[in-house]
Chain A
Amino acid sequence: MPAAVQYIIIPLVKVVLIQITLLIGVALTVWLERRTAGFIQDRYGPNRVGPFGLLQPVADVVKLFMKEDIVPEKANKFIHSLAPAISVTIALSTIAVIPFADPIQLFGSEFKLQIADVNIGILYILAMVSLGVYGVTLSGWASNNKYSLLGGLRSSAQMISYELSMGVAVLGIILVNGTFELDTIVQNQAGWKWNIILQPVGFLIFLTAAFAETNRTPFDLPEAEQELVGGYHTEYSSLKFALFFLSEYANVIVSACVITTLYLGGYQFPYLQTFGLSPVLVSILQIITFLIKIFIIVFFFIWIRWTVPRFRYDQLMVLGWKVMLPLALANLTITAIIVTLLK
């Protein structure tokens, strides 16, 4: 295989395929969220556009396209436009290191079903999570609106606080697996050895932190409607609002991918390799397994959003710093001791 094909064309194809899948996933998630909300609140939800209302997201996007793009007069126009772009870029680029299945043998060469197989995959995810603050903070500041600014400040404080527990929780995984490579971590989870069994406390902490990082209820203080109007996207309309919307749901899906990869066995279906199926079939089944796991986590996100009320700001900070962080540190210490003893 020539180098140009191997290092440029194939990754490009992977990027396009995975991003398109992600965007379709976002549209489906928006639909799923509105339908689920409808059922939870004992109403129908969108059911007019297309079968079961499945085309509703398309209609929404078209509507947002048609709307006037309003930029507040005293806003900083450049940053105001830059912020949603940063949000979307970061939300979409996190998925680059997620492995979707075992490598496939096609046409005599091996294809990894992962855009970038880097040996510091976990750190890459944490770095991208830490960058997620930018879009929200900058948009909050650039709108020149008190609600936006408060939303931006709150969200940066919240995301920075929960990033910490998230990082410490992930350290447990690294200790157990002894690697930063996501591919290896997934392969180590073959059979019953999912990390959720080895690291139950870490899983809970990571899940909670993921809710906080994606600004979803019960941690959606940055955009708490009752106090802050729309929070950081109060002053956004039209396509820029659509970008924020897109990045929020992309973040949900990507978090589901990360949670699945780190704790729920990734694409592994227990003992699938022992059934003696052909490798290509195994890979396809693995992709399906991965998608089902993601669906379950995304549904869990939605379910929580429509059933659990929002935290107060001080409760949020107390939970982050006085409960989650000590718990994560204790988890790390105990994991380290056990790993040392079992060695």
Chain B
Amino acid sequence: MPDINTILFYIFAFLIVSFSFIVVFAKNIIYSAVSLFVTLFGTAALYILLRADFLAITQVMVYIGGILILLIFGIMMTTRITDSEIKTTNLSSVPAVFVSAGVFVILIIVLLTTKWNINPPVENDVTVNRIGNLLLTTYLLPFEIASVVLLIALMGAAMYARKK
């Protein structure tokens, strides 16, 4: 009898992988978006399994509540409902599969040949406090720069999308 953690891992892994296939191969772009929703949610669930509860919620807020909504917005503005992409396959699909398989094999080799450092996990660990402390001490400068990046992106996006 596998323990409940393993079962949960397999359920979410299965969800993530199958729905990410739909994201990539769906003919209708809105199905890609909805599948991406499931994939991102599954990843957030895995984060909780990994005790990163703060990032799991941030994932839901930023990726699902922000980025994906923007993408759906983009879809609504650029695609009509009856459209479906006719030319899904491309001349480059065979090389693409090779490249992707190559990436996969290389990464798997790296995974198998490396001895990963593993420390015993800390029980009942609250990540929010530690992340907050790190962000405002060690990583203060990157944190500030990230906020400047966000501000610039906001202004840039507003400028691009404005009618000339």
Question: Are chains A and B touching directly in their complex (CB below 8 angstroms)?
Answer: yes
Contact residues of A with B, CB < 8 Å? 74-76, 78-79, 82, 118-120, 123-124, 126-127, 129-131, 133-134, 137-138, 140-142, 144, 149, 152-153, 156, 160, 163, 180
Given contacts A79-B30, A120-B53, A120-B128, is CB(A160)–CB(B72) below 8 Å? no
**Residues on the A chain within 8 Å of B64, using CB:** 127, 130-131
Main secondary structure of the interface of B (DSSP, over half): helix
Known: A118-B53, A123-B57, A141-B81. A149 touches B30 (CB 8 A): no
CB distance from B131 to the nearest CB of A (A): 11
B53 / chain A contacts, CB cutoff of 8 Å? 118-120
Q: Which one of B54, B61, B75 lies within 8 Å of A126 (CB-CB)? A: B61
B128 touches A141 (CB 8 A): no
In the assembled complex, the CB of A112 is this many whole angstroms from the nearest CB of chain B, namely 17
Do B76 and A137 touch (CB < 8 A)?
A: yes
Task: Verify if B73 is at the interface (C-beta below 8 Å from A).
Answer: yes
A218 to B31, CA, bound (A): 34
Contacts of B30 in A (CB 8 A): 76, 79, 138, 141-142
A residues in contact with B117, CB < 8 Å: none
Cβ proximity bits B27-49 to A, threshold 8 Å, 1 near / 0 not: 01011001001000000000000
- Quick check: A123 and B76 within 8 Å, CB to CB? no
* Chain A positions within 8 Å of B82 at CB level: 74, 144
Partner of A124, one of B34, B57, B66, B73: B57
Interchain residue pairs with CB less than 8 A apart (28): A74-B82, A76-B30, A78-B31, A79-B34, A118-B53, A119-B128, A123-B54, A123-B61, A127-B57, A127-B64, A130-B60, A130-B61, A131-B64, A134-B37, A137-B72, A137-B76, A138-B30, A138-B72, A141-B30, A141-B76, A141-B81, A142-B30, A144-B82, A152-B76, A153-B76, A156-B73, A160-B66, A163-B65
* Shortest Cβ distance from A180 into B: residue: B128
Total number of residue pairs linking A and B with CB closer than 8 Å: 72
B126 touches A (CB below 8 Å) = yes
B69 at the interface (CB under 8 A from A): yes
One digit per residue, 1 when the CB lies within 8 angstroms of any chain A CB and 0 when it does not, for chain B 65-89 equals 1100100110110000110000000
A133 near B81 with CB under 8 A, answer: no
Which of B37, B53, B57, B58: most chain A CB closer than 10 A?
B57
Chain B stretch 104-142: residues in CB contact (< 8 A) with chain A = 126, 128
Residues of A within 8 A of B66 (CB): 130, 160
Q: Are B69 and A120 in contact (CB under 8 A)?
A: no
Tell me whether B69 and A75 are in contact (CB under 8 A). no
Rounded to whole Å, the gap between the CB of A154 and the closest CB of chain B is 12
In angstroms, Cα B76 to Cα A129, docked, is 21
Report B16 CB to chain A, min CB distance, Å: 18
* Chain B residues within 8 Å of A140, by CB: 76
- Top 4 A-B pairs, shortest CB-CB distance: A130-B65, A127-B60, A123-B57, A144-B81
- Count chain A CB atoms within 10 A of each CB in B28, B58, B65 and give the residue with the most: B65
> In the complex where A130-B61, A137-B76, A149-B76 touch, is A142 in contact with B81 (Cβ < 8 A)?
yes
Q: A218 to B119, alpha carbons, bound, how many Å?
A: 55
Nearest A residue to B75 by beta-carbon distance? A141
A124→B128 CA distance, assembly (Å): 13
Given contacts A79-B30, A130-B66, 17 further A-B contacts (CB under 8 A): A74-B81, A76-B30, A79-B34, A118-B53, A124-B57, A127-B60, A127-B61, A129-B65, A131-B65, A134-B37, A137-B76, A138-B30, A138-B34, A141-B76, A142-B30, A152-B76, A153-B73
Measured in the bound complex, the distance between the Cα atoms of B126 and A194 in whole Å is: 27
Query: How far, in whole Å, are A163 and B70 apart by their CA atoms in the complex?
Result: 14
Select the residue from B28, B61, B72, B126 with max chain A CB neighbours within 10 A.
B61
